[in-house]
Chain A
């Protein structure tokens, strides 16, 4: 009755021998219904996110104007792109806009979350108020703030009518400040989301951490800043990725608020691409710009892979 199997005895040679004798058995690994059911996904992943991107890149090396062609001219479109002030300003703008709105959003969002976390009354009401702008389209956001920033009838004039006749608050009319106006509009729209994610992160922190900090006599603000914040890596990363992808795509709000002006002071890469494939009828130039927009995304994804790989290696060592 007793059967004993020794792990050591059934070593590699015996295993290799049996594998050679028997024919390989592959079956049911592949469910045909599952493939059929996901046809739209296969088409989208391959057709759109692979083939379309490849075509975009290919056309960026051609002389395509109104219609695409395959007349390859090497890197000329890229050389032209990086000689165009409009593009260079667009890139600068997106970096300034991105840095300001992400840093601003994180700080304001975390502050709001911390204040919301103080067992306040009417938490749901406050949450609704902070979050409702996100439900509205960026076009709506842009138009509202354009109106608020109107130099003659907006906030500036309203405050001047109250007596402060030197009050200035009309960022959109000046080249130097127009970008900050955009940042403010963007923050109004999106900070609530950052707050919601951060608040969820705060509530996810083990309550015993709070008890421990209290017993140790650490002031509340220090606990938030030095103990809880570093524990919220997930929430921070989520908020960061969400706002970063929003920044690279920034388009609607600019169109509604400034149309890229005054001058070219609020031009953005996304607008540059769309203008070149529509009004300006210079497809190849637009595709070169689009390909450049892909670079930071690829960099971030590459970095993430590196981190994951590194983490895996570390985990394997332990």
Chain B
């Protein structure tokens, strides 16, 4: 596996504010990496540094083995797609696609060939003579992708490319980007705050907070084995239930009211003391199935939110609020007493003080 993009010890300060701090990231050739995080976490900043649109304060950036830390964006072998599309409004689609090539004084035949190929791939040939204002949002974003495509580069950078589109179009284009990646096999670095996009597209997700990568792993690991409370709470909707308690050995005692046995949980480094058990709403079962679970308890339903495909219900255990997801067919109503159960082995246990997984 060859490395495509390599970031070493990267820091960026705006005045006294540290936006990125000693950040390291290795992206393999052909890999689809998603940078995910809340706004202000530095994900877009990192992308801009890779693109060469921001000057780094310290550290190095390698693309395809070449140190590009100080290179101009055009010399880095990257193409970039922006959230607001950033199409040049006075140019036709064709001119938009070919602008970079014309700036580089590429022979006309070559320019035409590349524009033709890109517009075929993205199925925007009928639009070539139109101006951006005459295009729909989805068409504009295709053109924006096409502009990266014609550059014939190794690395594609996407800066929240789907955020300005409505929900339906976003789903369609998401699939299309995935298809594009499967076809071209380029390295793609994709910034988003949408966890669905991250989970569906990524080979690996880097979750960022305050300029630091919290966890870099494949979607499955991120979802099932979050390394800390932040990652656990950020991924998943409705978000993970956190049950505060006191850990001693393999028993979590919740306010002295309930004891949850964590016998099938695989501790990485068991530490006694204040701890938090995280359990996803979809891992809690109700009714007869709950009887098969290692942990079972009786609880009263407070609120029911029917979602169509399934139902989310709110309840409390030992005074702490808990949500769980049930199949749409299960009849639930507020005030009803039900038996719920889960397997702590599928959950995550965090040290309350450090917030890290134990």
Contact = CB atoms under 8 A, between A and B. Distances in A.
Given A10-B21, A10-B22, A4 B214 contact: yes
A2 B21 contact: no
A10 B218 CA distance: 25
A211 interface: no
Contacts of A29: 55
A27 B24 contact: no
Interface in A1-42: 1-7, 10, 14-15, 18-19, 22, 25, 27-29
A28 B11 CA distance: 17
A7 B212 contact: yes
Given A18-B9, A27-B70, A4 B58 contact: no
A3 B58 contact: no
Contact of A2 (B55, B210, B221): B221
Nearest to B225: A2
B213 interface: yes
B358 interface: no
Given A7-B21, A7-B212, A28-B70, A1 B58 contact: no
Contacts of B19: none
Interface in B177-235: 204, 209-210, 212-218, 221, 227-228
A2 B217 contact: yes
Contact of A4 (B21, B56, B215): B215
Interface string B16-30: 000001111000000
B70 A18 contact: no
A2 B58 contact: no
Interface string B40-71: 00000000000000011110000000000010
Interface residues of B, number: 25
B227 A4 contact: yes
A194 to B, nearest CB: 35
A68 to B, nearest CB: 44
A182 B176 CA distance: 70
Contacts of B215: 2-4
Given A18-B58, A25-B58, A1 B22 contact: no
A1 B218 contact: yes
- From DSSP, what is the main secondary structure of chain A's interface residues? loop
Contacts of B221: 1-2
B58 A22 contact: yes
A19 B57 CA distance: 10
Nearest to B22: A10
A27 B55 contact: yes
Interface residues of A, number: 17
A5 B213 contact: yes
Nearest to A4: B227
Contacts of B210: 7
B9 A1 contact: no
A1 B27 CA distance: 11
A82 B221 CA distance: 82
A6 B214 CA distance: 7
Contacts of A27: 55, 70
B70 A2 contact: no
A3 B213 contact: yes
A33 to B, nearest CB: 13
Interface in B335-358: 356
Contacts of B9: 18
Nearest to A8: B354
B230 to A, nearest CB: 10
A157 B70 CA distance: 80
Which of A4, A6, A22, A29 has the most chain B CB within a 10 Å cutoff? A4
Nearest to A29: B55
Interface string B99-110: 000000000000
A291 B5 CA distance: 61
Contacts of A6: 212
B129 to A, nearest CB: 33
A7 to B, nearest CB: 5
Nearest to B24: A3
A10 B221 CA distance: 25
Which of B212, B218, B227 has the most chain A CB within a 10 Å cutoff? B212
Contacts of B209: 7
Interface of A: 1-7, 10, 14-15, 18-19, 22, 25, 27-29
Given A7-B209, A7-B212, 7 more contacts: A1-B217, A5-B213, A15-B22, A18-B22, A18-B58, A27-B55, A27-B70
30 contacts: A1-B204, A1-B217, A2-B215, A2-B216, A2-B217, A2-B227, A3-B24, A3-B213, A3-B215, A3-B216, A4-B214, A4-B227, A4-B228, A4-B356, A5-B22, A5-B23, A5-B24, A5-B213, A5-B214, A7-B21, A7-B209, A7-B210, A7-B212, A10-B21, A10-B212, A15-B22, A18-B22, A18-B58, A19-B58, A25-B58
Interface of B: 9, 11, 21-24, 55-58, 70, 204, 209-210, 212-218, 221, 227-228, 356
The 8 closest A-B pairs by CB, nearest first: A5-B212, A3-B216, A2-B217, A7-B212, A4-B227, A10-B22, A5-B213, A10-B21
